[in-house]
Amino acid sequence: MLFLALLVKVTWILAAEGGHHWTYEGPHGQDHWPASYPECGSDAQSPIDIQTVSVTFDPELPALQPHGYDQPGTEPLDLLNNGHTVQLSLPPTLYLGGLAQKYVAAQLHLHWGQKGSPGGSEHQIDSETTAAELHIVHYDSESYDSLSNAAQRPQGLAVLGVLIEVGENENPAYEHILSHLHEIKHKDQKTSVPPFNVRGLLPQQLEQFFRYNGSLTTPPCYQSVLWTVFNQRAQISKGQLEKLQETLFATEEEPSEPLVQNHRAPQPLNQRTVFASFMQAGPLYTTGEMLGLGVGIVVGCLCLLLAIYFIARKIRKKRLGNRKSVVFTSARATTEA
């Protein structure tokens, strides 16, 4: 009987995960995802390293408006450790304006690194990683009746990506999630959190963002996501980051395996275009590049001046030489005469 129950549970878990166990490192790590989940090896995957010199400014991109984020209702929200991340369920009263369809919220979750090692975000901007990243997952509710039905369709999902860095102050919005992590230390543990203002998890400025077509960053890696990655970062304190890095386990029981480094490496952009809602402000070049450029210009000018000087000298010499030969010829002419 117990055996049967166990078998049912194993089957259920396998079914829930699409049949294959996956991790970020090791024999089931991200390099092996395509073997079990073919779409993970496809050509429009996420995350990406956004190179700001290569993005296309699109003045037509409408501002993104999160609706209902600041009124999350009265129902408590489910917070789950699913073994891969910490995930908060969101009600469909939260939705996005500024996209071609109405996308309603379904859940949010986080990606992070490990104490003592840099990085943790999935997206990068100019090859810069940050400590963590928030993903708020929405689905096209006009075309599909559920998240799972939308998740396999082109642009079925719209995900907001927020890069999170460490700042001076504790971020009270993130504390609504982080203060409950100790209640869901192990995989498949769930708790309820009181509703809170989800807008507080986003950066202050929403006007500057990048937009591209990509995928889920975890198996089965469906290429169904219209991504919006904000240029401005959110900030949490060092203590908050450490709580995220040190509280959760990826396993149900002993031996416990810490839930860390749950971020996928950047994927090739291939033929895709990344659009930006804004023109690159600030210096186009770093100080080092500016210095290099300055030195280059000065050296270049010097070389040019030297070249002109030598050419001028050569021309003068040649003229003098010509004149001498003329004198010589005429001298000879005189002698001969």
Ligand X SMILES: *[C@@H]1O[C@H](CO)[C@@H](O)[C@H](O)[C@H]1NC(C)=O
Q: Give the chain's radius of gyration (CA, Å).
A: 31
- Give the angle 73-162-170 at the CA atoms, nearest 5°: 75
Q: Is 330 in the site for ligand X (CB under 6 A)?
A: no
Between 79 and 274, whose beta carbon lies closer to ligand X? 274
Segment near ligand X (CB under 6 A); pick from 104-112, 211-219, 256-264, 282-290? 211-219
Between 41 and 154, whose beta carbon lies closer to ligand X? 154
Cβ count within 10 A of residue 95: 21
Between strands 132-140 and 103-112, the pairing is antiparallel
Q: Which of 20, 21, 84, 180 is catalytic?
A: 84
Helices (H), 147-283: 147-150, 172-178, 238-246
How far, in Å, CA of 175 to CA of 171, rounded?
6
Q: Is 36 in the site for ligand X (CB under 6 A)?
A: no
Among 138, 176, 211, 263, binds ligand X (CB under 6 A): 211
Segment near ligand X (CB under 6 A); pick from 91-99, 187-195, 205-213, 284-292? 205-213
Q: Is 278 in the site for ligand X (CB under 6 A)?
A: no
Active site residue 84: yes
Among 93, 171, 213, 256, binds ligand X (CB under 6 A): 213
Between 120 and 214, whose beta carbon lies closer to ligand X? 214
- Strands of 185-312, DSSP E: 190-193, 209-214, 225-230, 234-236, 275-276
What phi and psi values does residue 215 have, to the nearest 5 degrees? -135, 175
Size of the site for ligand X (CB under 6 A): 5
Among 13, 173, 196, 275, binds ligand X (CB under 6 A): 275
Q: Which helix (H) or strand (E) holds 315?
A: helix 287-336
Between 24 and 103, whose beta carbon lies closer to ligand X? 103
Between 151 and 260, whose beta carbon lies closer to ligand X? 151
Between strands 95-97 and 103-112, the pairing is antiparallel
Q: Is 42 in the site for ligand X (CB under 6 A)?
A: no
Q: Is 273 in the site for ligand X (CB under 6 A)?
A: yes
Instruction: Name the DSSP class of 63.
Output: P
- In angstroms, give the least distance from the CB of 47 to ligand X: 15
How far, in Å, CA of 97 to CA of 185, rounded?
35
How far, in Å, CA of 86 to CA of 184, rounded?
9
- In angstroms, give the least distance from the CB of 38 to ligand X: 20
Q: Which helix (H) or strand (E) holds 140?
A: strand 132-140
Segment near ligand X (CB under 6 A); pick from 210-218, 250-258, 285-293, 313-321? 210-218
Segment near ligand X (CB under 6 A); pick from 173-181, 207-215, 290-298, 317-325? 207-215
- In angstroms, give the least distance from the CB of 152 to ligand X: 15
Q: Is 196 in the site for ligand X (CB under 6 A)?
A: no
Q: Is 270 in the site for ligand X (CB under 6 A)?
A: no
What phi and psi values does residue 136 have, to the nearest 5 degrees? -110, 115
Q: What is the DSSP string of 205-232?
A: --S-EEEEEE--SSTT--S-EEEEEESS
Among 139, 212, 230, 249, binds ligand X (CB under 6 A): 212
What phi and psi values does residue 310 have, to the nearest 5 degrees? -65, -40
Residues that bind ligand X (CB under 6 A): 211-213, 273, 275
Residues recognised as catalytic = 84
